[in-house]
Chain A
């Protein structure tokens, strides 16, 4: 995703001199070409995320559209108050970009796992929160952000995420993408878990004739509440899948929507991280499996939930 990010940003920066990239001294092999090509639109501020965020707000108030770039929690939780007061309160055109959302930096350990970022950023007034599902969505999201969308958080994976969308997509801010049609239940994912969600759907179809609708909820805020409500009405069961705490992220957001949507009660379950630090050491896939978010485990839990649902019991 970071490749699509920098390639798209480069393309947009060429067209629009307002587009500016600031980094907190990270992005080796990613940002150098941009820096050489657009010296007046690039700034390595050093290892100083609070200053970076304040600088970005000041530059945005001066007419620029600024992307602040770092990894994991460094551009978000470290300067959180700057994001709240300087960026969000002022409605500044600053896009906070985190590479390595979730556990992409696996074996580097808990300091490098961004697993509460969506919940925290989502709670800030005026923030748009985006976590693209694959490289194609990343390109579309960066293009959208370059138009100036006000305060925004863009959570990316790292590199080499599989392509999910093989056909062109109609990516719109705040509109979930129906990535697979199905009537038996809906699996909503955000960020790079989209690929796993599609694998789960294929497995359940092949092995149990359960047809899942898959939604890519690339924009967590503003949330496509209508897509969630429609999924509940059409399929009677909604599951969420995210590489993030189950508190306050996609699962939390969907729960809020469904709890208030009493017209269509449905089966609902969140698949994500519990509110505990992982003690396991390993790469991203290892940690995802350890957390029970791998394709096989999620498939089993969805099948079990559907089998014991009130509707299933009635049918039996």
Chain B
């Protein structure tokens, strides 16, 4: 066999690339080298990332903490805190029992309140079209396929809707936003509830998947006729149109602060695992935006950094909340704040 030098050289190049990547990966995983102050590291939800990144400099000023947050997605955040490679994880969906067991002594604490927007791309059509849960479920089940479907037209009298085909975009990774969205569809549509259900990932009957909020936003913004979902901050920063969604009182609510606060006041008694469900609240919460959610920080009950972690979390659920409204995160309601503070107090070294 003719002896070949180049494949080996190629292999050497590949090996070098692999080595560089390994080095980067190790670097990313290991604790940072500089020790200006105490470092608090976290990973998880992209949803809450804009808020957390606002905290970095005031937190440094107040306590000298260096806050590092990787917006790798709720799923990856849970994996990281389970492996204890970070000090806290962040997830928009409450942990499942299996995840709690795996995390071995973790607790979840509600620490921010946000909303999921349903995005669409229809050139020439106004923002804030009307939609309700059952219609939305039919679209995502592939039963409504064009924008001028009678069901959509009936909800939007006076708006001329094009005959464009509806293209559906959803998350391909495990995501708390998906949980929030499918939680709403399950609550609003019995058909969705029996056939598909709620989860950080579901068995989508139609549509194409994008990785991360950015992946979904990319598909929606590039495709006329597309519909998708992402946190409201994403919709605003990417200048995407989003629906006003009908709540149980019959009102079409927008994913704004008022809508979130009204939804949040519907559940002030968290379950034993501190999770709160505020999706599609009862009619008496007249202004509620029905796809609102609390998002959670996940911390080990026993941590070598307990005093610093507690100080940081107390700050986050109190002072930290004031940075929320600008980014469309409604500050935690008082009842939830009490719950959060009680949970934080349980952390020990």
Do A and B associate with each other?
no
List residues of A whose CB falls within 8 A of some B CB: none
